[in-house]
Structure 1
Amino acid sequence: MSQEKIKTNANVAVGQQLTFTAFGFAWYAQEPRTWRSAISKQQKSDAKLLVAFMKLFLSDGFVLDTTVPDYRDRVLTLGKHAEAAVLEFLVQQMITSRGAGAVMKHLRILHRSGVLNAKIERHQRLLQTTAIRDPAPRHTQDIFEPVV
């Protein structure tokens, strides 16, 4: 694992796109964890929302154990897998956005329209099993409800 600093909103140059993987990595592997860090409430909220959207696309669930030596590598691998799944889904929806902010905007719209209902329901079922073991605080894990 490289020792490069993962970019956060505060240090991304104008015109650069921040990837989902960077958000996911910062959420789970950067110290202090994003949910405990001294960033603005808006940045925490955006990170929580984007990571929650990413988790909807991990169809088999995921297990993150902070005690294993390759934890950070696993976080990065999961983030890349989720990012690929999200982008593939967006292409199916005729959306070509790639940057984290634009993608989050589209995912919010898709959520409000009910397009993500099946993914949300599957994720909620997985949360009730051992298929998902998430070290993040419980209040950050199940934030979406299906839209009626």
Structure 2
Amino acid sequence: MARAATTTDALSALAEPRRRHILDAIGTGERTVNQLVEVLGLEQPYVSKHLRVLREVQVVSVRDDGRQRWYRVNGQALRPIHQWFATFERTWNQRFDQLDVVLDDLSHEETPHEHPDHPQSSSRPEPAQSQRDAAQSTGDPDHP
């Protein structure tokens, strides 16, 4: 039984990491299948299969030149995806900016033992020292 097509739109097609690698390898120019096979180190049928999916959702276009097929990224098909992600980018940048302000405020708050003019008091005994002192005063080492 044949599998149903799961890639019917550009975003779904780009969910596959190898397809994104193919787009990266094509870049802003054109590449043939054989060039992509060489650059990516993948088998030719595998690259062709992914190019077919990318072509079906119009993320890449193909130009025939004799026996060669040249693939190019179709930026117009990627524009809606870019715009959709851009809304999240703006939101996260705003949140990171707010977090930077909070972290900056926290780093400027000083606690008494951190201030250079107020070193941590050396008169405060360490917990183990307090227990030894208490044991000596009561004479019972198990009862501080």
TM-score using structure 1 length = 0.26
The structure with the greater share of residues assigned to strand is 2
TM-score using structure 2 length = 0.27
Higher gyration radius (CA): 2
Structure with larger RCO (C-alpha < 8 A, sep 6+):
1
